[in-house]
């Protein structure tokens, strides 16, 4: 069998968690392949709401194996808090969650370094989630990181050396901090982590594929936050794109099956960086209010704007998207007209290919489509879709060159419409 991949096509928060949960019954293994607790994946069902950070969104459907892959950076303390909260609500993960020994650890000093680097950048700050993601991946790439597998061999000496190295950097930045309490809790959390199956998950996944089992890989962040293809330097520190699934789980490119690309019917971004279709007006405020566009974890207000098809086409190309999923359609229910950006003007020239100079000088070129002015939140099937909504879908499919197979009309698991199309 193959690994199907579900990943964000915009700047994150597209609704990945919700759809992974919806698709989980069709898979044997659900695996996270990159990112860490910078993610906040929201799931709602039976009147309950859960926000997952490092734990895959396949844990609620029962009987599945969930994997935290080698490409993930894991903070043991945040992981413990997340797993304990889930255990309290009746979801014991010790039997259904495997953690790669090759996943890198986020140390307490990584979090402090994240804050120190942001402070040093001043107005040019990235607006990170402050979870130590950048510094942890920096150590990975510079070959000085600590991995989950290190917990089992001579950990104290390796930890002290890494901490001393980080402290020297912090001193050079004149950054004052106090990690005593956090560090004590973090060290305690290491024992908690050891209760889980720490393994070479690339073997688990490849063996499962060879036995005919199916795997769904869950992306975090979004394509426009990718370290290579995103709006650099305002990006995260991992490969959020489909290729990241191969390195982040240890699966060969030929093992990749469907690539689900997920996007909102409009667009949001949290943190700094270019956002060509951002709306700094009443319309942007309305989208933010109706869409409840505030960070799942940080509570930060998300910047809102119209859908950007230049960026989306780029994301479809980089990822080789085979199926599209459109989220939060209901948020546009009240609009008379809806705009979609089909090109940018740069120095009075129109471009349709996402440019290197993706900065604030890009002026979006819009087409305008009629709104559907219908409450879609209770719809159960595509037969109920208003004509204008179908027209919006057809327009997007035509522009993006892939079918929209799932439409989401509300945050609940049930508010999901699967369209059965002939490919």
Q: Could you confirm whether 104 is annotated as catalytic?
A: no
**HSE-up of 300 (CA within 13 Å, CB side)?**
16
CB atoms closer than 10 angstroms to residue 342: 18
Exactly one of 22, 245, 331, 343 binds ligand GDP (CB under 6 A); that residue is 331
Select from 3, 10, 17, 249 the one that contacts ligand GDP (CB under 6 A). Answer: 17
41 is catalytic: yes
Q: Which stretch binds ligand GDP (CB under 6 A): 15-23, 120-128, 147-155, 334-342?
A: 15-23
Q: What's the sign of the alpha-carbon dihedral 271, 273, 274, 280? A: positive
Residue 327 binds which entry of ligand GDP, Mg ion, ligand IMO, none, CB below 5-8 Å type-dependent: ligand GDP
- Residue 248 makes contact with ligand IMO by CB under 6 A: no
Q: How far is CA 35 from CA 149, 232, 271, in A?
A: 18, 16, 16
Considering the candidates 4, 21, 28, 41, report the single residue annotated as catalytic.
41
13 is an interface residue for ligand GDP by CB under 6 A: yes
364 near 401, Cβ under 8 Å?
no
Q: For the CB of residue 6, give the shortest distance to Mg ion in the complex, in Å.
A: 13
Give the residue carrying structure tokens 């000093």. Answer: 109
d(CA 4, CA 257): 5
CB 43, min distance to Mg ion, A: 11
C-beta of 331 vs 343, nearer to ligand GDP: 331
Cβ proximity to ligand IMO: between 39 and 342 the closer is 39
Residue 319 in the binding site for ligand GDP (CB under 6 A): no
244 in contact with ligand GDP (CB under 6 A): no
Q: Which two tokens stand for residue 363?
A: 């002026």
Angle at which helix 201-210 crosses helix 242-249, to 10 degrees, equals 110
Q: Give 269 or 323: the residue with its C-beta nearer to ligand IMO.
A: 269
Q: How far, in Å, CA of 58 to CA of 50, rounded?
A: 12
If binding is defined by CB under 6 A, does position 36 make contact with ligand GDP? no
DSSP 323-346: EEEEE-GGGGTT-SEEEEEEEEEE
Q: Residue 411: which of ligand IMO, ligand GDP, Mg ion, none does it interact with, CB under 5 to 8 A by kind?
A: ligand GDP
Q: What minimum distance in Å lies between the beta carbon of 224 and ligand GDP?
A: 13
Contact 35, 74 (CB under 8 A): no
* Residues marked as catalytic: 13, 41
Positions touching ligand IMO (CB under 6 A) are 8, 11-13, 38-41, 126-129, 131, 133-134, 220-222, 225, 234, 236-237, 270-271
């Amino acid at each position: 069998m193959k690994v199907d991949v579900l990943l964000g096509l915009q700047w994150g928060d597209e609704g990945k968690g919700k759809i992974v949960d919806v698709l989980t019954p069709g898979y044997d293994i659900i695996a996270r392949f990159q990112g860490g607790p910078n993610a906040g994946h929201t799931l709602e069902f039976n009147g309950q709401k859960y926000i997952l950070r490092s734990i895959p969104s396949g844990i609620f459907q029962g009987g599945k194996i969930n994997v935290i892959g080698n490409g993930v950076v894991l903070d043991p303390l945040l992981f413990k808090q997340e797993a304990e909260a889930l255990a309290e609500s009746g979801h014991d993960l010790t039997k259904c969650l495997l953690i790669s020994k090759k996943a890198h650890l986020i140390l307490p000093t990584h979090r402090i370094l994240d804050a120190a680097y942001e402070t040093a950048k001043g107005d040019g700050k990235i607006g990170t989630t402050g979870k130590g993601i950048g510094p942890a991946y920096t150590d990975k790439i510079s070959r000085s990181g600590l991995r989950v597998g290190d917990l089992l061999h001579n950990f104290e000496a390796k930890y002290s050396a890494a901490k001393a190295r980080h402290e020297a950097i912090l001193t050079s930045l004149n950054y004052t901090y106090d990690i005593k309490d956090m560090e004590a809790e973090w060290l305690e959390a290491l024992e908690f982590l050891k209760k889980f199956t720490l393994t070479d998950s690339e073997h688990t996944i490849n063996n499962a594929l060879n036995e005919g089992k199916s795997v769904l890989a869950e992306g975090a962040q979004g394509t426009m936050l990718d370290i290579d293809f995103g709006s650099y330097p305002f990006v995260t520190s991992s490969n959020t794109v489909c290729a990241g699934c191969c390195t982040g789980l240890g699966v060969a490119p030929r093992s990749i099956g469907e690539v689900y690309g997920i996007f909102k019917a409009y667009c949001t971004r949290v943190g700094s960086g270019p956002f060509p279709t951002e709306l700094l007006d009443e319309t942007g405020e309305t989208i933010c209010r109706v869409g409840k566009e505030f960070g799942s974890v940080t509570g930060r207000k998300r910047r809102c704007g119209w859908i950007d098809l230049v960026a989306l086409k780029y994301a479809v190309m980089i990822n080789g998207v085979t199926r599209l999923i459109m989220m939060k359609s209901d948020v546009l229910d009240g609009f008379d007209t809806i705009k979609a950006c089909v090109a940018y003007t740069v120095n009075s020239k129109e471009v349709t290919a996402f440019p290197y100079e993706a900065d604030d000088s890009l002026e979006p070129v819009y087409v305008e489509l009629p709104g559907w002015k219908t409450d879609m939140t209770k719809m159960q099937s595509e037969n109920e879709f208003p004509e204008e909504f179908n027209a919006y879908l057809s327009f997007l499919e035509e522009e993006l060159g892939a079918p929209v197979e799932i439409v989401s009309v509300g945050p609940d698991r049930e508010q999901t419409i699967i369209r059965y199309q002939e490919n």
